Amino acid sequence: MAQAIVTIKIMPVDPSIDLKKIEHEATTMLDQEIGKGDRRVVIEPIAFGLKAVNITFVMDEKRGSPDPIAEKLEKITGVQSATVTDVRRAIG
């Protein structure tokens, strides 16, 4: 099986939420779920001061859908939603 490159968008409940704390908890959870690896975190401005945390990571396709990971990320305090926004097969 190949590797999949996955991006999950994490939306906080409001603009006052500490995004660094969400980022730390999310990357810690990903380390436990799929192991340590390269991660790319991008803070995306949405509107009216609200920002989203986009985390891109690599996972083995054998795990199946990344939706269960998004569901676990939604349980982080201060997170309104976590949505898989992109899944691609890694070539090489």
At residue 92 the predicted structure's pLDDT band, cuts being 50, 70 and 90, is: low
Q: How much of the chain exceeds pLDDT 70, in percent?
A: 98
At residue 1 the predicted structure's pLDDT band, cuts being 50, 70 and 90, is: low
Q: For residues 90 and 7, is the Cβ–Cβ distance under 8 A? A: no
d(CA 22, CA 26): 6
The confidence score (pLDDT) of residue 18 equals 94
Q: 38-77: b or e for each residue (b if 16 or more CB lie within 10 Å)?
A: eeebeeeeeeeebebbbbbbebeeeeeebeebbeebeebe
Q: Find the farthest-apart pair of alpha carbons in the chain and give their distance in angstroms, rounded.
A: 43
Q: How much of the chain exceeds pLDDT 90, in percent?
A: 82
The ranges assigned to domains in the chain are 1-56
**Cα–Cα nearest to 7, from 77, 59, 74, 64:** 59
The stretch 29-57 carries a mean pLDDT of 93
The one-letter code for the residue type at 78 is: G
